[in-house]
Amino acid sequence: MRMVLFAMLLSFSMGFDCRTDHGEVRPQIVGGMLTFGFGPSGWRTKSPSVNRISVFELDQRQRGRTVCSVNRLTRVGTVELAAWRYGERIEGFDLQGCGPLEIGRNYGVTVSGSYGSGVAFFVLERTGSVRKLGP
């Protein structure tokens, strides 16, 4: 009985994410601008609290050079962001790089925050659209 209870508790607790679940990141074109939409992850109901956004080159399916880095200046409290337009300054965040992206090149974006982190891969098309890569 004790072992059954232990197994139940173990599987129950291990079933929880323990911060490894993924938030949703949606690369999209809004008003002609590359915009990343953020959604809550898995079971979480709160909006994503964003502390850091990185856009990087994707080379041979590996993380390459970081071309844009957005870092929150403090980690006190939370800032909920539903979306971020590429290159746009956010109050309370430090922005580095974020120059023009190349059409036809593969990029990745990671978003990390207190209620789940997310990653997405994308390529900008000549037509002015953005195509999400991978699953």
Partner 1 sequence: MWDPDDQLSLLAHEMTHSVQWEQGPVSFAARYTGEWLWNGSDAYNVPKSMLGMTLDSSTVRAWNYTFDEIADYMAWQVAPSAGRVHLK
Residues near partner 1 (CB under 8 A) = 2, 6, 9-10, 12-13, 16, 18-20, 44, 46, 49-52, 54, 62-63, 71-72, 75-78, 108, 110-115, 117, 119
For the CB of residue 35, give the shortest distance to partner 1 in the complex, in Å. Answer: 19
Of residues 19 and 131, the one with the C-beta less far from partner 1? 19
On the CB side of 50, CA atoms within 13 Å amount to 29
- Residue 113 pairs in a beta bridge with 50
Of residues 12 and 127, the one with the C-beta less far from partner 1? 12
For the CB of residue 32, give the shortest distance to partner 1 in the complex, in Å. Answer: 28
Phi and psi angles of residue 9, each rounded to the nearest 5 degrees, phi first: -65, -40
Of 104, 111, 112, 113, the residue nearest 133 (C-alpha): 104
Where do we find the tokens 């959604």?
A: 39
Of residues 26 and 44, the one with the C-beta less far from partner 1? 44
